[in-house]
Structures are given as structure tokens and as C-alpha cells.
């Protein structure tokens, strides 16, 4: 057992919330925290190098150790929740070091979301291939939080459709209305709206998604109701009765938040309304998050940046939009992500056949588990923010 292992194990003795069971490479086990705690987690450390990763790079190091197969857990989301609840007690072990943080910040700045930069960033995540996403998303091909609305037995597909239906209901959208969708994804919302006789103009900068979305609408006989375009949101033309944007603002980047909210205001008809579904970080965590690029920004969404709820309100006021409703359903997102993780695990062999190696598959597992833990601990939430033009 080296110095890094001893230091991390000593630090874990500060555990104050829940119970952690750690199985070590030498066959022994250690238990940290209260033996009778309701919240518990388990980790198997397969190589002593795990501790060096954690000591040097904190939470990012932990993620990288998992990606490299140096550790495992029978319930990864639960383990991450447990570690998050003890972040304050774990101190430097929970944070990447100053030099690594500086490097990550510089890398994050390189992923600026200019028009060309945004295309590169979106391509890096959404153009992994429709075949990849089709394996583990539900038949609606929806890659955003579902809405279970208290019904734990609701199937994922029905919960995704319920989310779309709520958006249309809140907007008061009716047959013949014109809706602009910023970030139309694989076309799930556009199809739902078109079936109601609503005309939809959708924009995306993912060629893979655009091809799929156009195809599904053709097959559904709804193409005459929908105009899907390969276009940056900053180049949109025309005015619309309503604007919808579902979990796209996370990819805009802090520098361009004013452009995004100005776009909402500029392209609404007088009296029109917009609904933005957004992942937000809790106000109390925002400053730290803003200065410390996390696992998601480093490995999953280059250029991504979450707003806080307060930040959304500030951007709306500046742009001349009135907030009509902020509806949060973060625990539904935790459930969505855990369902995706289960589905992803069930098709791991098929993902491998598409050419994705074990490190990528472990990275994706960690991503889904990490996000689920964020919503479970309420550090992140998902909001449907309904705005009206003033």
C-alpha cells in the first residue's frame, strides 16, 4: 500500500453521511461511516493506482479511474450520490488540483461556441451515430428528461410523450399555430406537434439528427407540416406564435446566453410565448461549477455550460421576456437517466459491435450515473421555463 492509498483511506475516515464499503486489491475490506446508515454505497478497488488518480485529480480522477477499469461498483449512481454527500468532509480528495483545474479551464475555453465551434462541439456528441442512440433510447428517440408526473409505473416512451404534451398544453398551442423548435433533435417533439395539426420549423446543427428526423416525419406522413433546417439558432428567420427549445441551451455556452435569449424574444410574434426545458445547477453551487470544469464538460459535452435558475431569470429580464412559470421535475430526470443506464447496460455487446471500446462504454456508464446522482442530490434540476414576450 503506497502513500497515496494511505492518504485517501485516512481521509475517508471523515465520512459523515451514510456508509461506504470499500474492497481493496489485497482482498481486505474497509467500512467508513455509520454501520446503520440508510444511505450506503460499495466500491471495489481493483488496482492501487486508483488512489493516485483520486489524490491527484479528485472527482475527475475518480471518473478516469472508473473509465480505466481501476474500480467498479454494483450501484454506480448510488455510490456517486454517497460521495457527493460527503464532498465537504473529503476536502481536496473530492477536488482536482490547481494545475489540473487550470488545464481543464483552458481546454474548456478552446471549445467556444462560435458558429463553427458549436458545429464541432455538437458533432462530437450527437453525431456518434443514430445507430448508437437507437440502441438505448426509447422508440421516440428522445434524449431529454421524461415526465413521469408521480407515476412510477409509467413506461419511458409514455413519459417522454407526456413531456411533449405538457409543453404544448402550457403554450396553449392549437391547430394552425406556427412553432419554432430550436434544437429539434431526432424529431420527437416535431412529430407530436405535427400530429395536432401544428406547423413546426425546427433547426439543428447535427447532420445525423437532421437526416433521421426528416426520415421519420416522411414515414409518418407529416413532412408537409414540418420544415427542418440545418441552421444555427443565431441565423433563424421569421416570427412564430411559439418557440420551444428542449435541453439545447446547455450547449450554448455562457458567452452566448444573451444571443440565445435575444433570439427567443426577436422571433416571437407580439404576445407569443416560449418554453425552454433546461438543466440547471443549484444557485449555491453555480460559482464553484463556473470555475471548475466538471466531468461532463471535460469528456461528454465540450463547450457545455449550465445556467442556474437565477441565471435564467436574469437573462429573461435582460431580453425582455416575462417568466410565466418555472416547473421543476429533477427526480424524473434521475429516473430517466437510471432507465437509460439500465437499457445501455443491456445492449453493451451491441454497442461494442458498433466499434465503441470498453473505455468509451465505461465513460458513457459513468456519464449516465453521474448525471442521475446530480438530480438525486438536487445539485441539478430540470425546468420547463415558460416565457412570454413583454
Q: Which of 286, 330, 277 is nearest to 306 (CA)?
A: 286
Long-range pairs, 156-162, Cβ under 8 A, ≥24: 156/336, 156/339, 159/332, 159/336, 160/188, 161/192
Q: Which of 71, 184, 316, 371 is catalytic?
A: 371
Whole-angstrom distance, CA of residue 144 vs CA of residue 130? 16
Q: Which of 43, 166, 75, 155 is nearest to 372 (CA)?
A: 75
Q: In this structure, how many other beta carbons lie within 10 angstroms of the beta carbon of residue 7?
A: 16
Identify whether the C-beta of residue 250 lies closer than 8 Å to the C-beta of residue 209.
no
Catalytic: 371? yes
Rama region for 303: left / alpha / beta (φ>0; ψ in -120 to 50; rest): left
* Residue 331 in grid coordinates: 427526480
* Residue 142 in grid coordinates: 428522445
Whole-angstrom distance, CA of residue 145 vs CA of residue 382? 8
**DSSP code string of 322-360:** EEEEEEE-HHHHHHHHHHHHHHHHHTHHHHHHTT--HHH
Q: What residues act catalytically?
A: 371
Amino acid at each position: 500500500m503506497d502513500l497515496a492509498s494511505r492518504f485517501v483511506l485516512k481521509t475517508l475516515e471523515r465520512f459523515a453521511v451514510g456508509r461506504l464499503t470499500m474492497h481493496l486489491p489485497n482482498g481486505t475490506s474497509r467500512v467508513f461511516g455509520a454501520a446503520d446508515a440508510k444511505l450506503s454505497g460499495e466500491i471495489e478497488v481493483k488496482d492501487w493506482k486508483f488512489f493516485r488518480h483520486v489524490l491527484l485529480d479528485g472527482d475527475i480522477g475518480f471518473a478516469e479511474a472508473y473509465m480505466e477499469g481501476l474500480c467498479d461498483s454494483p450501484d454506480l449512481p448510488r455510490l456517486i450520490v454517497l460521495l457527493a454527500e460527503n464532498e465537504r468532509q473529503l476536502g481536496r480528495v473530492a477536488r482536482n488540483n490547481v494545475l489540473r483545474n487550470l488545464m481543464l479551464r483552458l481546454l474548456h475555453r478552446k471549445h467556444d461556441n462560435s458558429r463553427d465551434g458549436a458545429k464541432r462541439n455538437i458533432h462530437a456528441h450527437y453525431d456518434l451515430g443514430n445507430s448508437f442512440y437507437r440502441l438505448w433510447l426509447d422508440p421516440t428517440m428522445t434524449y431529454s428528461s421524461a415526465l413521469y408526473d408521480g407515476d412510477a409505473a409509467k413506461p419511458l416512451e409514455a413519459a417522454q410523450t407526456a413531456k411533449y404534451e405538457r409543453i404544448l398544453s402550457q403554450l396553449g398551442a392549437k391547430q394552425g399555430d406556427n412553432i419554432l423548435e430550436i434544437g429539434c433533435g431526432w424529431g420527437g417533439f416535431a412529430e407530436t406537434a405535427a400530429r395536432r395539426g401544428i406547423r413546426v420549423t425546427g433547426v439543428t446543427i447535427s447532420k445525423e439528427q437532421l437526416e433521421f428526423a426528416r426520415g421519420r416525419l416522411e414515414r409518418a406522413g407529416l413532412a408537409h407540416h414540418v420544415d427542418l433546417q440545418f441552421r444555427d439558432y443565431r441565423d433563424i428567420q421569421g416570427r412564430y406564435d411559439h418557440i420551444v427549445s428542449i435541453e439545447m441551451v446547455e450547449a450554448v455556452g455562457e458567452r452566448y446566453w444573451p444571443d440565445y435569449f435575444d433570439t427567443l424574444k426577436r422571433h416571437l410574434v407580439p404576445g407569443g410565448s416560449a418554453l425552454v426545458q433546461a438543466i440547471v445547477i443549484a444557485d449555491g453551487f453555480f460559482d464553484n461549477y463556473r470555475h471548475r470544469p466538471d466531468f461532463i464538460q471535460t469528456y461528454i459535452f465540450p463547450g457545455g455550460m449550465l445556467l442556474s435558475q437565477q441565471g435564467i431569470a436574469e437573462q429573461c429580464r435582460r431580453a425582455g421576456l416575462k417568466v410565466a412559470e418555472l416547473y421543476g421535475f429533477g427526480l424524473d430526470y434521475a429516473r430517466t437517466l437510471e432507465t437509460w443506464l439500465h437499457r445501455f447496460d443491456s445492449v453493451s455487446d451491441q454497442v461494442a459491435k458498433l466499434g465503441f471500446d470498453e473505455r468509451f462504454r465505461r465513460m458513457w456508464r459513468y456519464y449516465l450515473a453521474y448525471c442521475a446522482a446530480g438530480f438525486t442530490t438536487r445539485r441539478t434540476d430540470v425546468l420547463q421555463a415558460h416565457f412570454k414576450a413583454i
